[in-house]
Chain A
Amino acid sequence: MHKKINSKPTLTRRLVLIGGSILLLYPLLRFITHRVPRKPVTIKVTEPLKQDKFLVKDDFFIFAENERVWAVSRKCTHLGCRLNYKENEDILECPCHQSRFANTGLVINGPSKKQLKTYKVEKNTDPPYFIVSI
C-alpha cells in the first residue's frame, strides 16, 4: 500500500525556507550596500585664475574676490549633473534642469533646493597656486 505524500509545505518548512532566504540575503545586502570610505583627496591647481576671478575644474570652481578665495562643488544638488559657469551673469547653472546658483553656492532658483558644497582652499604665491581639499 502506498502512503500519500503530503506535497504542501508545512509551516516549519516554510519558516526554514524564509529564514534561510533572509540569512542568505543579509550578507548579500551588506556586501552590496557597504561603502568603502573615500580617501580624502587634495587637488593641486597649477593654473592661475582667469582674470584673477575664477577657474573651472572638473569637480569644482574656484572663485576669488578681494583677498578671499573659495571653491564650490560642480555637482548640482538637484540630481547631480555637472554645473557650468555663466561668466557674464556670474552664476552657476545646471545643464539638466537649469537650477541656478550664486558663485557662493547659494540657490538662486530651483528645482534645486539645497546649496552647493564648498571646499577648503589653500592659496600659494607659486605653483601650485591652489590646493583644494574635497
Chain B
Amino acid sequence: MNWTTCLERLKKWPASQLIYDTKWGSWSLICLYISLISGIIVGLQYDLSEPFYSTAALDVLIPFGGYFRSLHFYSSQLFFLFAVIHYIVVFNKTESYSHNRRIMLVLTLPTILLLLFTGYVLRDDSTGSSAGIIAENILLAVPAVGAILNGLMFSITEHGMQRVYLHHVISFDLLLLILAWDHLRKNPVKVSHYPLLILLVLSLSIFIAAPIDPEELGRFYITGPWFFLGLQELLRYLPPFVAGVLIPGSFIMVLLMLSRSHRWFTRLLSFTCIWLLIYTLLSIIALITHG
C-alpha cells in the first residue's frame, strides 16, 4: 500500500474527516492574534531588570495579571499546536507551492518554537533561567561562530534578558511576519467567523494558570519546557553541539526537503516519523525517570 492510498483510506474515517474539515490554519492565526494582544498587555507590567519578580507579581499582585499571563501562555501554545496540525493536514496541497514558498512556510514552525522558547526563558524562574543558560551554552558549542551566534541570540550571562526580550517582542515576530506574509495575504481570515474558538481560549485561561516555578532551595530536578524535554535528555548522553544543534538541525533540514515530488520522499518521511518517535520517547523518559 503506497502513501497516497494510505492517506485516502485515512481520510474516509469520520474522525479524520473532522480533522480535515477543521480550519486549523485559521484557528492558529486567531490564537496568534490573542497571543499578540495578551502579550502587549503582559508586557506593560513586565520588568526586564526584575524578570522573575515581575512575572511572579503578575500572578499574585497585579489585578487580573495571572489571567492575562495565562491567556498569553495558552494562546501561544495553541498557536503552535494548530500550526503544526495545519501543516500536516494541508501537506498535500503544498505540492502546488513554489519551492521558496514552501521553505518559508516550513521555517515558520521553528520560528514559532523560538518565540515559545524565549517566552519560557523570560519568566526567569528555575525552568526558564536554566533553559536560557543551556541554550546559550549550546550555541557557544558551535564551532567557529558559536560566540557570534550567542552574541546575537541570547548572551544571558553577559546581558541578562536583554536579547531574549528583544527577540521575543520584535525580531522573531518580524521574522514570522516575513515568512508567513505571502501566505496570510493569500488566505485572509475573518476573526468574526470564530467566536466560539475565541471564547474557548478566553475561558480556558480563567481556569488553568500558566506555569511558574516558585523559588525554592534544593531543587534537584528541573524539567524543561515540553518541547525541550527530549533535547534535555539527549544532552545527558551526547555533546552539546551534536544534541543541541546537529540533531534538531537535521530534522529541520529534512522537513525543508520533505515534499511528495522529492525522489527520496519515502525515506525523508520515514526519517521524520522515526525522529519524532525517538524524540517523544526521550521526552517520556525525561518525564518518568527524572521528573
Contact = CB atoms under 8 A, between A and B. Distances in A.
Contact of B220 (A33, A35, A78, A86): A86
Nearest to B244: A79
A98 B290 CA distance: 9
A111 B235 contact: yes
Interface in B215-241: 217-222, 224, 232, 235-237, 240
A77 to B, nearest CB: 10
Chain B at the A interface: mostly helix, strand, loop or mixed? helix
Contacts, number: 59
B85 interface: no
Contacts of A56: 217
Nearest to A82: B130
Contacts of B158: 35
Given A79-B240, A80-B137, A111-B236, A95 B222 contact: yes
Interface residues of A, number: 19
B220 A97 contact: no
B277 interface: no
A29 B150 CA distance: 12
Given A56-B217, A79-B235, A81-B134, A96 B151 contact: no
Interface in B142-159: 147-148, 151-152, 157-158
A82 B131 CA distance: 11
Given A32-B148, A84-B219, A98-B290, A79 B126 contact: no
Interface in A29-43: 29, 32-33, 35
Interface of B: 126, 129-130, 133-134, 136-138, 147-148, 151-152, 157-158, 217-222, 224, 232, 235-237, 240, 290
Interface of A: 29, 32-33, 35, 56, 78-82, 84-86, 93, 95-98, 111
